[in-house]
Amino acid sequence: MDPIRIAVVGLGKIARDQHLPAIAGNAAFSLAATVSPHDPGREGVAHFASLGDLLYGGPAIDAVALCTPPQVRYDLAALALKRGVHVFLEKPPGATLSEVVALRERADKVGVTLFAAWHSRFAAGVAPARAWLAERTIQKVSIVWREDVRVWHPGQAWIWEPGGLGVFDPGINALSILTHILPRPVFLEDAALSIPENRAAPIAAELRFRDTAGADIHMDLDWRQTGPQSWNITVETDAGTLKLSSGGAVLTLPGGTEHNEDLEYPGLYSRFANLIRGGRSDVDIDPLRLVADAFLRGRRESVEPFND
Q: 158-196: buried (b, 16+ CB within 10 Å) or exposed (e) per residue?
A: bbbbebbbbbbbbbbbbbbbbbbbbeeebebeebebbbb
Strand order in the sheet with 240-245: 256-259, 250-253, 240-245, 230-237, 138-146, 216-222, 204-211, 186-196, 299-303
Angstrom distance (rounded) from CA 195 to CA 277: 44
Q: What is the DSSP letter of 148?
A: B
Angstrom distance (rounded) from CA 78 to CA 107: 9
Could you tell me which of 142, 120, 172, 170 has the C-alpha nearest to residue 243?
A: 142
Active-site residue (options: 91, 109, 140, 243): 91
Angstrom distance (rounded) from CA 8 to CA 67: 7
Q: Which residues pair with 194 in a beta bridge?
A: 204, 301
DSSP three-state, residue 240: strand
Any catalytic annotation for residue 140? no
Alpha carbons within 13 angstroms on the beta-carbon side of residue 64 total: 29
DSSP three-state, residue 1: coil
User: Which positions are annotated as active-site residues?
Assistant: 91
